[in-house]
Amino acid sequence: MNKPRALVTGGAGFLGSHLCDALLAEGYSVVAVDNLLTGRLSNLDHLRNNSQFEFRKIDINQPFDCGHVDYVFHFACPASPVDYTVHGVETLQVGSLGTFHALDVARKYGAKYLVSSTSECYGDPLEHPQKESYWGNVNPIGPRSVYDEAKRFTEAATMAYHRYYKVDTRIVRIFNTYGPRMQLNDGRVIPNFMKQALRGEDLTVYGDGSQTRSFCYVSDEIEGFLRLAKSSEHLPVNIGNPNEFTILECAKRVIEVTGSKSKIEYKALPQDDPKQRRPDITKARTLLDWEPKIDLEAGLKMSLEYFRLATAELAGAGKA
Ligand code: UDP
Protein backbone atom coordinates (compact mmCIF):
# COMPACT_ATOMS: atom_id res chain seq x y z
CA MET A 1 0.00 0.00 0.00
CA ASN A 2 1.22 3.51 -0.81
CA LYS A 3 2.11 5.70 2.11
CA PRO A 4 -0.04 8.78 2.71
CA ARG A 5 1.70 11.87 1.34
CA ALA A 6 2.03 15.09 3.32
CA LEU A 7 2.94 18.55 2.06
CA VAL A 8 4.75 20.83 4.53
CA THR A 9 5.00 24.51 3.53
CA GLY A 10 7.83 26.25 5.34
CA GLY A 11 9.41 22.80 5.61
CA ALA A 12 12.96 24.18 5.96
CA GLY A 13 12.07 26.30 8.99
CA PHE A 14 12.62 25.49 12.65
CA LEU A 15 9.17 24.00 13.30
CA GLY A 16 8.58 22.89 9.69
CA SER A 17 11.69 20.71 9.65
CA HIS A 18 10.88 19.08 13.00
CA LEU A 19 7.39 18.43 11.69
CA CYS A 20 8.84 16.73 8.58
CA ASP A 21 10.82 14.39 10.86
CA ALA A 22 7.72 13.59 12.91
CA LEU A 23 5.56 12.92 9.84
CA LEU A 24 8.19 10.61 8.34
CA ALA A 25 8.26 8.73 11.66
CA GLU A 26 4.46 8.49 11.50
CA GLY A 27 4.69 6.73 8.12
CA TYR A 28 4.04 9.59 5.72
CA SER A 29 6.04 10.38 2.63
CA VAL A 30 6.77 14.09 2.82
CA VAL A 31 7.25 16.86 0.31
CA ALA A 32 8.63 20.00 1.95
CA VAL A 33 8.44 23.32 0.13
CA ASP A 34 10.11 26.56 1.18
CA ASN A 35 11.34 29.72 -0.57
CA LEU A 36 14.28 29.78 1.89
CA LEU A 37 13.63 33.41 2.86
CA THR A 38 14.11 32.50 6.52
CA GLY A 39 14.18 28.68 6.33
CA ARG A 40 17.50 26.85 5.91
CA LEU A 41 18.34 23.76 3.90
CA SER A 42 20.75 22.69 6.63
CA ASN A 43 17.66 21.91 8.78
CA LEU A 44 16.87 19.14 6.27
CA ASP A 45 20.42 17.86 5.61
CA HIS A 46 19.79 14.69 7.60
CA LEU A 47 16.86 13.78 5.28
CA ARG A 48 18.84 14.08 2.06
CA ASN A 49 19.05 10.32 1.48
CA ASN A 50 15.58 9.49 2.76
CA SER A 51 13.61 8.08 -0.19
CA GLN A 52 10.33 9.11 1.47
CA PHE A 53 11.38 12.77 1.60
CA GLU A 54 11.59 15.41 -1.08
CA PHE A 55 12.40 19.13 -0.93
CA ARG A 56 11.25 21.67 -3.52
CA LYS A 57 12.28 25.32 -3.49
CA ILE A 58 8.93 26.97 -4.15
CA ASP A 59 7.53 30.39 -3.32
CA ILE A 60 3.96 29.63 -2.31
CA ASN A 61 2.92 33.23 -2.91
CA GLN A 62 2.54 31.97 -6.48
CA PRO A 63 0.03 29.17 -7.18
CA PHE A 64 1.80 25.82 -6.86
CA ASP A 65 1.07 22.12 -7.20
CA CYS A 66 3.29 19.24 -6.08
CA GLY A 67 0.83 16.54 -7.13
CA HIS A 68 -1.57 14.56 -4.99
CA VAL A 69 -1.24 14.95 -1.23
CA ASP A 70 -3.35 13.58 1.60
CA TYR A 71 -2.44 16.24 4.15
CA VAL A 72 -1.34 19.88 3.88
CA PHE A 73 0.60 21.33 6.80
CA HIS A 74 0.84 25.05 6.14
CA PHE A 75 3.78 26.39 8.16
CA ALA A 76 5.38 28.91 5.79
CA CYS A 77 5.86 32.34 7.41
CA PRO A 78 8.70 34.35 8.94
CA ALA A 79 8.10 33.85 12.66
CA SER A 80 10.54 35.85 14.77
CA PRO A 81 9.94 39.55 15.49
CA VAL A 82 13.27 40.38 13.79
CA ASP A 83 12.47 38.30 10.68
CA TYR A 84 8.94 39.57 10.22
CA THR A 85 10.03 43.15 10.78
CA VAL A 86 12.70 42.85 8.06
CA HIS A 87 10.32 40.92 5.77
CA GLY A 88 7.06 42.67 6.65
CA VAL A 89 5.47 42.67 3.20
CA GLU A 90 6.47 39.06 2.52
CA THR A 91 4.91 38.10 5.87
CA LEU A 92 1.60 39.68 4.89
CA GLN A 93 1.82 38.04 1.47
CA VAL A 94 2.41 34.53 2.76
CA GLY A 95 -0.36 34.95 5.34
CA SER A 96 -2.80 35.94 2.60
CA LEU A 97 -1.74 34.79 -0.91
CA GLY A 98 0.34 31.88 0.36
CA THR A 99 -2.49 30.71 2.60
CA PHE A 100 -4.99 30.77 -0.27
CA HIS A 101 -2.58 28.72 -2.39
CA ALA A 102 -2.03 26.17 0.37
CA LEU A 103 -5.79 25.93 0.93
CA ASP A 104 -6.32 25.54 -2.83
CA VAL A 105 -4.00 22.51 -2.81
CA ALA A 106 -6.01 20.95 0.03
CA ARG A 107 -9.26 21.71 -1.78
CA LYS A 108 -8.06 20.33 -5.10
CA TYR A 109 -6.94 16.99 -3.65
CA GLY A 110 -9.54 16.68 -0.89
CA ALA A 111 -6.61 16.72 1.53
CA LYS A 112 -6.80 17.44 5.24
CA TYR A 113 -5.22 20.71 6.27
CA LEU A 114 -3.55 22.07 9.40
CA VAL A 115 -2.21 25.62 9.65
CA SER A 116 0.23 27.15 12.12
CA SER A 117 -1.23 30.18 13.80
CA THR A 118 0.08 31.96 16.83
CA SER A 119 -0.48 33.39 20.28
CA GLU A 120 0.21 36.74 18.56
CA CYS A 121 -3.45 36.60 17.48
CA TYR A 122 -4.15 37.63 21.09
CA GLY A 123 -1.82 40.66 20.73
CA ASP A 124 -0.99 42.32 24.06
CA PRO A 125 -3.67 40.31 25.86
CA LEU A 126 -6.06 41.80 28.36
CA GLU A 127 -7.28 38.31 29.33
CA HIS A 128 -4.82 36.08 31.17
CA PRO A 129 -4.16 33.22 30.60
CA GLN A 130 -5.38 33.23 27.03
CA LYS A 131 -8.25 30.91 26.07
CA GLU A 132 -9.11 30.20 22.44
CA SER A 133 -12.36 32.13 22.90
CA TYR A 134 -10.46 35.41 23.54
CA TRP A 135 -10.53 37.73 20.50
CA GLY A 136 -7.35 39.56 21.35
CA ASN A 137 -5.94 43.05 21.67
CA VAL A 138 -3.95 43.70 18.49
CA ASN A 139 -2.65 47.03 17.20
CA PRO A 140 -3.58 46.73 13.50
CA ILE A 141 -1.01 49.32 12.33
CA GLY A 142 1.92 48.82 14.72
CA PRO A 143 5.27 47.18 13.85
CA ARG A 144 4.03 43.69 14.88
CA SER A 145 0.84 44.02 12.83
CA VAL A 146 2.49 42.52 9.72
CA TYR A 147 2.66 39.21 11.60
CA ASP A 148 -0.34 39.44 13.90
CA GLU A 149 -2.76 40.51 11.19
CA ALA A 150 -1.25 38.10 8.64
CA LYS A 151 -1.98 35.24 11.02
CA ARG A 152 -5.43 36.53 11.92
CA PHE A 153 -6.18 36.69 8.20
CA THR A 154 -4.75 33.17 7.81
CA GLU A 155 -7.24 31.96 10.41
CA ALA A 156 -10.12 33.79 8.69
CA ALA A 157 -9.19 32.36 5.26
CA THR A 158 -8.89 28.87 6.76
CA MET A 159 -12.32 29.08 8.40
CA ALA A 160 -13.78 30.45 5.14
CA TYR A 161 -12.46 27.48 3.13
CA HIS A 162 -13.88 25.22 5.79
CA ARG A 163 -17.30 26.89 5.77
CA TYR A 164 -17.70 27.60 2.05
CA TYR A 165 -15.71 24.75 0.46
CA LYS A 166 -15.89 22.11 3.20
CA VAL A 167 -12.12 21.77 3.43
CA ASP A 168 -11.21 19.64 6.45
CA THR A 169 -9.18 22.26 8.32
CA ARG A 170 -7.40 22.67 11.66
CA ILE A 171 -5.76 25.71 13.29
CA VAL A 172 -3.03 25.50 15.91
CA ARG A 173 -2.16 28.60 17.95
CA ILE A 174 1.50 28.16 18.81
CA PHE A 175 3.02 29.78 21.91
CA ASN A 176 6.75 30.54 22.25
CA THR A 177 8.57 27.37 21.22
CA TYR A 178 12.32 26.72 21.40
CA GLY A 179 14.87 24.00 20.76
CA PRO A 180 17.51 22.81 18.30
CA ARG A 181 17.47 24.32 14.77
CA MET A 182 16.38 27.76 15.89
CA GLN A 183 18.42 30.30 14.01
CA LEU A 184 20.96 31.87 16.31
CA ASN A 185 20.43 35.28 14.74
CA ASP A 186 16.65 35.30 14.47
CA GLY A 187 16.47 37.67 17.44
CA ARG A 188 14.16 35.56 19.59
CA VAL A 189 14.83 35.56 23.26
CA ILE A 190 16.11 31.98 23.79
CA PRO A 191 18.62 31.96 20.89
CA ASN A 192 19.74 35.49 21.83
CA PHE A 193 20.28 34.59 25.48
CA MET A 194 21.94 31.25 24.68
CA LYS A 195 24.34 32.86 22.21
CA GLN A 196 25.18 35.69 24.59
CA ALA A 197 25.66 33.36 27.57
CA LEU A 198 27.87 30.96 25.62
CA ARG A 199 30.03 33.87 24.48
CA GLY A 200 30.24 35.36 27.94
CA GLU A 201 28.47 38.52 26.76
CA ASP A 202 25.82 40.32 28.78
CA LEU A 203 22.27 39.08 28.24
CA THR A 204 20.13 41.81 26.68
CA VAL A 205 16.86 42.04 28.62
CA TYR A 206 14.41 44.40 26.94
CA GLY A 207 12.50 46.73 29.28
CA ASP A 208 12.71 45.78 32.96
CA GLY A 209 12.30 42.08 32.15
CA SER A 210 8.96 41.82 33.96
CA GLN A 211 7.07 40.87 30.78
CA THR A 212 6.21 37.17 30.72
CA ARG A 213 6.33 34.33 28.22
CA SER A 214 5.58 30.60 28.55
CA PHE A 215 8.12 28.44 26.75
CA CYS A 216 7.37 25.09 25.12
CA TYR A 217 10.09 22.63 24.09
CA VAL A 218 9.89 21.70 20.43
CA SER A 219 9.16 17.96 20.85
CA ASP A 220 6.15 18.72 23.07
CA GLU A 221 4.88 21.23 20.53
CA ILE A 222 5.23 18.80 17.62
CA GLU A 223 3.38 16.09 19.55
CA GLY A 224 0.54 18.59 19.98
CA PHE A 225 0.47 19.22 16.21
CA LEU A 226 0.25 15.49 15.48
CA ARG A 227 -2.60 14.99 17.91
CA LEU A 228 -4.51 17.95 16.51
CA ALA A 229 -3.88 16.66 12.96
CA LYS A 230 -5.58 13.39 13.91
CA SER A 231 -8.54 15.12 15.54
CA SER A 232 -11.52 16.61 13.77
CA GLU A 233 -11.46 19.98 15.58
CA HIS A 234 -11.85 22.89 13.18
CA LEU A 235 -11.69 25.75 15.66
CA PRO A 236 -8.31 27.01 16.95
CA VAL A 237 -6.47 25.05 19.64
CA ASN A 238 -3.70 26.53 21.83
CA ILE A 239 -0.58 24.38 21.96
CA GLY A 240 2.01 25.71 24.37
CA ASN A 241 3.47 25.23 27.82
CA PRO A 242 1.53 27.07 30.55
CA ASN A 243 4.60 27.47 32.81
CA GLU A 244 5.05 31.23 32.79
CA PHE A 245 8.34 33.07 33.35
CA THR A 246 9.34 36.70 33.41
CA ILE A 247 12.02 37.41 30.83
CA LEU A 248 14.39 38.23 33.69
CA GLU A 249 13.78 34.75 35.18
CA CYS A 250 14.35 33.26 31.75
CA ALA A 251 17.72 35.07 31.51
CA LYS A 252 18.72 33.68 34.90
CA ARG A 253 17.79 30.12 33.86
CA VAL A 254 19.93 30.44 30.73
CA ILE A 255 22.89 31.70 32.79
CA GLU A 256 22.48 28.74 35.19
CA VAL A 257 22.14 26.09 32.49
CA THR A 258 25.11 27.37 30.48
CA GLY A 259 27.22 27.96 33.60
CA SER A 260 28.06 31.37 32.18
CA LYS A 261 29.49 34.38 34.02
CA SER A 262 27.39 36.75 31.91
CA LYS A 263 25.50 39.59 33.54
CA ILE A 264 22.23 41.27 32.57
CA GLU A 265 22.15 44.39 30.40
CA TYR A 266 18.86 46.28 30.11
CA LYS A 267 17.78 47.64 26.72
CA ALA A 268 14.74 49.48 25.40
CA LEU A 269 11.50 47.51 25.16
CA PRO A 270 10.29 47.18 21.53
CA GLN A 271 6.97 48.87 20.69
CA ASP A 272 3.82 46.82 21.42
CA ASP A 273 5.82 44.03 23.10
CA PRO A 274 3.12 41.92 24.85
CA LYS A 275 3.33 42.31 28.63
CA GLN A 276 2.15 38.80 29.42
CA ARG A 277 1.50 35.56 27.61
CA ARG A 278 0.40 32.19 28.88
CA PRO A 279 -1.79 29.63 27.16
CA ASP A 280 -4.88 28.16 28.72
CA ILE A 281 -4.50 24.59 27.46
CA THR A 282 -7.70 23.15 28.87
CA LYS A 283 -8.95 22.51 25.35
CA ALA A 284 -5.82 20.64 24.23
CA ARG A 285 -5.87 18.64 27.48
CA THR A 286 -9.47 17.55 27.15
CA LEU A 287 -9.75 17.25 23.37
CA LEU A 288 -6.33 15.85 22.50
CA ASP A 289 -5.21 14.42 25.84
CA TRP A 290 -2.07 16.50 25.28
CA GLU A 291 0.16 17.97 27.91
CA PRO A 292 3.72 19.33 27.66
CA LYS A 293 6.24 17.20 29.53
CA ILE A 294 9.50 19.13 29.36
CA ASP A 295 10.09 22.08 31.67
CA LEU A 296 12.25 25.08 30.77
CA GLU A 297 15.37 23.91 32.58
CA ALA A 298 15.26 20.45 30.99
CA GLY A 299 14.52 21.91 27.54
CA LEU A 300 17.39 24.38 27.80
CA LYS A 301 19.72 21.52 28.78
CA MET A 302 18.48 19.46 25.82
CA SER A 303 19.15 22.43 23.50
CA LEU A 304 22.56 23.31 24.87
CA GLU A 305 24.63 21.13 22.56
CA TYR A 306 22.90 22.56 19.48
CA PHE A 307 23.39 26.16 20.63
CA ARG A 308 27.06 25.46 21.47
CA LEU A 309 27.69 24.13 17.97
CA ALA A 310 25.73 26.93 16.30
CA THR A 311 27.62 29.57 18.31
CA ALA A 312 30.96 27.99 17.38
CA GLU A 313 29.93 27.81 13.70
CA LEU A 314 28.95 31.46 13.70
CA ALA A 315 32.27 32.41 15.27
CA GLY A 316 34.08 30.25 12.70
CA ALA A 317 32.24 32.01 9.90
CA GLY A 318 33.42 35.32 11.38
CA LYS A 319 29.87 36.53 11.89
CA ALA A 320 28.50 38.42 14.87
N1 UDP B 1 13.56 39.76 24.58
C2 UDP B 1 14.56 40.23 25.41
N3 UDP B 1 15.84 40.16 24.96
C4 UDP B 1 16.18 39.64 23.74
C5 UDP B 1 15.15 39.16 22.92
C6 UDP B 1 13.84 39.25 23.36
O7 UDP B 1 14.31 40.71 26.53
O8 UDP B 1 17.39 39.61 23.43
C9 UDP B 1 12.15 39.81 25.08
C10 UDP B 1 11.16 40.47 24.13
O11 UDP B 1 11.12 41.86 24.34
C12 UDP B 1 9.89 39.76 24.53
C13 UDP B 1 10.33 38.37 24.94
O14 UDP B 1 11.72 38.47 25.21
O15 UDP B 1 9.29 40.40 25.64
C16 UDP B 1 10.10 37.30 23.87
O17 UDP B 1 10.63 37.79 22.67
P18 UDP B 1 10.73 36.92 21.36
O19 UDP B 1 11.33 37.80 20.31
O20 UDP B 1 11.42 35.64 21.63
O21 UDP B 1 9.23 36.53 20.98
P22 UDP B 1 7.79 37.18 21.15
O23 UDP B 1 7.16 36.38 22.21
O24 UDP B 1 7.93 38.63 21.56
O25 UDP B 1 7.18 37.03 19.82
Whole-number pLDDT of residue 316: 86
Global pTM reads: 0.97
Rounded distance from Cα 188 to ligand 1 centre (Å)? 6
C-alpha span between 136 and 144 (Å, rounded): 14
Ligand 1 atom 24, closest CA: 273
Ligand 1 neighbours by CB, cut-off 6 Å: 80-81, 176, 187-189, 192, 204-206, 211, 213, 247, 269-270, 273
Rg of the chain over Cα atoms, rounded to whole angstroms, equals: 19
Q: What is the pLDDT of residues 19-56, one digit of tens each?
A: 999 999 999 999 999 999 999 999 999 999 999 999 99
128, burial (CB in 10 Å: exposed 0-12, middle 13-18, buried 19+): middle
Atom number of ligand 1 nearest to Cα 192: 8
pLDDT band of residue 2 (cuts 50, 70, 90) is confident
The domain locations on the chain are: 5-178+217-239, 189-212+243-277+294-314
- Pocket test of ligand 1: the residue of 247, 265, 275 to mutate, having most ligand atoms within 8 Å of its CB, is 247
Whole-number pLDDT of residue 46: 98
Ligand 1 atom 6, closest CA: 189
Ligand 1 atom 1, closest CA: 189
Q: Active-site positions?
A: 147
252, burial (CB in 10 Å: exposed 0-12, middle 13-18, buried 19+): middle
Task: Return the CATH number of the domain spanning residue range 189-212+243-277+294-314.
Answer: 3.90.25.10
Q: CATH number for 5-178+217-239: choose from 3.40.50.1980, 3.30.70.100, 3.40.50.300, 3.40.50.720.
A: 3.40.50.720
**Average pLDDT of the segment spanning 188-213:** 98
DSSP state string for 70-125 = SEEEE--S--SHHHHHHTHHHHHHIIIIIHHHHHHHHHHHT-EEEEEEEGGGGBS-
Q: What is the pLDDT of residues 121-136, one digit of tens each?
A: 999 999 999 999 999 9
Geometric angle at alpha carbon 66, from 13 and 159, rounded to 5° = 70
Rounded distance from Cα 35 to ligand 1 centre (Å)? 26
